[in-house]
Amino acid sequence: NDISHDEAFEILLAAKKNAEDSNVLVNIAVVDAGANLKAFIRMDESFLGSIDVAIKKAKTARYFDIDTGELGELTQPGGIIYNIEHSNGGLMTFPGGLPIKNKDGKIIGAIGVSGGTIEQDRAIATAGAKSIVD
Amino acid sequence: NDISHDEAFEILLAAKKNAEDSNVLVNIAVVDAGANLKAFIRMDESFLGSIDVAIKKAKTARYFDIDTGELGELTQPGGIIYNIEHSNGGLMTFPGGLPIKNKDGKIIGAIGVSGGTIEQDRAIATAGAKSIVD
Amino acid sequence: NDISHDEAFEILLAAKKNAEDSNVLVNIAVVDAGANLKAFIRMDESFLGSIDVAIKKAKTARYFDIDTGELGELTQPGGIIYNIEHSNGGLMTFPGGLPIKNKDGKIIGAIGVSGGTIEQDRAIATAGAKSIVD
Amino acid sequence: NDISHDEAFEILLAAKKNAEDSNVLVNIAVVDAGANLKAFIRMDESFLGSIDVAIKKAKTARYFDIDTGELGELTQPGGIIYNIEHSNGGLMTFPGGLPIKNKDGKIIGAIGVSGGTIEQDRAIATAGAKSIVD
Residue segments in chain B with a per-residue pLDDT below the cut of 50: none
- Does C38 contact A at CB distance below 8 Å? yes
Q: How far is the alpha carbon of D34 from chain A, nearest alpha carbon, in Å?
A: 6
Could you please report the per-residue DSSP string of A47-114? Answer: -TTHHHHHHHHHHHHHHTTS-HHHHHHHSSTTSTTTTGGGSTT----SSSEEEEE-TTS-EEEEEEEE
> Around Cβ D74, how many Cβ atoms within 10 Å?
16
Q: For residue A36, list chain D residues with Cβ-Cβ distance below 8 A.
A: 34
What is the number of alpha carbons within 13 Å of residue D73 lying toward its C-beta?
A: 5
Residues contacting A47, CB < 8 A, separation 6+: A25, A27, A114, A115
The torsion of the CA quartet A84, A90, A94, A97, rounded to 10 degrees, works out to: -120
Q: For residue D41, list chain B residues with Cβ-Cβ distance below 8 A.
A: 5, 8-9, 38-39
Tens of each residue's pLDDT in chain A, 134 residues = 899 999 999 999 999 999 999 999 999 999 999 999 999 999 999 999 999 999 999 999 999 999 999 999 999 999 999 999 999 999 999 999 999 999 999 999 999 999 999 999 999 999 999 999 98
Of residues A61, A64, A65, A47, the one with CA closest to residue A94: A61
Provide ipTM, 2 decimals.
Answer: 0.96
- pTM higher than the cut 0.95: yes
Q: For residue C35, list chain A residues with Cβ-Cβ distance below 8 A.
A: none
Using one digit for the tens of pLDDT, what is the confidence trace for D54-113?
A: 999 999 999 999 999 999 999 999 999 999 999 999 999 999 999 999 999 999 999 999
Q: How far is the alpha carbon of C44 from chain A, nearest alpha carbon, in Å?
A: 6
